[in-house]
Amino acid sequence: MVKTSTLSNFTTERNILLTILTRKIATSKTNTLNAAFDNKYQVQHNSITDLLQAIEAKFKKCEMLFFTYFEDMDHGILAGNITALPFEMDCSLIDGTATVKYYFKVDDKNMYKEIVDMNFQTFILTLASLYENLVLLAEIFIKKVMVYVKPLISSPLHDYLKYLKHLIDLGYRQNDKLNTCMVTFDPFFSKYLIQINSLRNRYIHGYSINLQTDGYYYSVEKMNGTSFTPASPDLILDRFTFEVLDNTRNFIRELFTALKESTKHHRKSIPA
């Protein structure tokens, strides 16, 4: 199969945040409220630039995996049907003015399965890391949600959302632009976050591939505590990865907008 796909670009949203950041630093409209918990929350131009670039790079990595391995995957081969072999992919990915080309050809069903399995693992681990980076970004631009005595090893997005909800329910935070953004994506978070985090933990601490075939479709295994049914069509691998990517792309844009709207006023400081 020969195809061309275009990667997402967050340059406009990223530059708007950096412009606001530069202005706040120049006018001394920053504070150390969040940095008092951990130095990683310091309002520094270089580290925040690196963080924003990492967020975009990780999302693009997930897109590359989707376009190359999942979007046009062959479920028949993964169910054991060898008549479609060899499987061939010639994928050109456009990123601004650059083009990246991925090509592979495989003539063995077991090797094809291994390729799909290992790239899905990379997809999940990259996605989980991306979500933690988004939490870090929010915890730099907005007064901290996850308040603690001892620094946390990691800050998963689903934990951040729980903290935020509890603080609003207790009346310690207002229903601001950040929370409005999170509420907008609650249907996606409620359905997918536990599934993604459980997969992440299984890949790091276990050895299961977490994928299975019913003889027709190759699907993601249902994780405990999720709303998926075991045979849900939403767990079919190409559909699952598409929905996760599409919603994550929209969430990144809306989060960047919420951070912009929360900090752009000349009287606002960072963290706001």
Distances (CA, A) of 257 to 20, 47, 94, 209, 261: 12, 20, 25, 36, 6
State mean pLDDT over 70-86.
97
In the chain, how many domains are there? 1
78: in domain: yes
Please tell me the predicted confidence (pLDDT) of residue 150.
Answer: 79
269: in domain: no
28: in domain: yes
Q: Is the pLDDT of residue 153 over 80?
A: no
6: in domain: yes
State mean pLDDT over 59-69.
98
268: in domain: no
The per-residue pLDDT for range 164-197, each reduced to its tens digit, is: 999 999 999 888 999 999 999 999 999 999 999 9
Q: Is 130 exposed, middle or buried (0-12, 13-18, 19+ CB in 10 A)?
A: buried
The per-residue pLDDT for range 232-246, each reduced to its tens digit, is: 999 999 999 999 999
| Alpha helices per DSSP H over the chain | 11-26, 45-65, 75-78, 109-141, 157-169, 177-184, 186-205, 237-263
For a pLDDT cut of 90, what percent of the chain falls above it? 94
Strands lying side by side in the sheet with 87-95: 2-6, 87-95, 98-106
The model's confidence at residue 151, banded by pLDDT at 50, 70 and 90, is: confident
State mean pLDDT over 144-165.
87
Q: How far is CA 209 from the centre of its chain?
A: 20
pLDDT mean across residues, the chain: 96
State mean pLDDT over 94-110.
96
The per-residue pLDDT for range 244-265, each reduced to its tens digit, is: 999 999 999 999 999 999 999 9
272: in domain: no
Please tell me the predicted confidence (pLDDT) of residue 154.
Answer: 79
Please tell me the predicted confidence (pLDDT) of residue 250.
Answer: 98
Under 8 Å CB-to-CB from 118, ≥6 apart: which residues? Answer: none
Under 8 Å CB-to-CB from 123, ≥6 apart: which residues? Answer: 62, 65, 66, 70, 241
Q: Note the residue count of the chain.
A: 272
Structural domain boundaries, residue 245 = 2-263
195: in domain: yes
Write out the DSSP string of 216-235: S-EEEPPPTTSS--TT-GGG
Distances (CA, A) of 266 to 13, 26, 260: 19, 12, 12
Please tell me the predicted confidence (pLDDT) of residue 79.
Answer: 96
240: in domain: yes
Please tell me the predicted confidence (pLDDT) of residue 174.
Answer: 86
CB contact burial 137-172 (16+ within 10 A = b; e otherwise) = bbbbbbbbbbeeeeeeeebbbebbbebbbebbeeee
The model's confidence at residue 13, banded by pLDDT at 50, 70 and 90, is: very high
Q: Is the pLDDT of residue 97 over 80?
A: yes
pTM of the model: 0.96
Question: Rounded to the nearest 5°, which phi and psi values hold at 169?
Answer: -60, -35
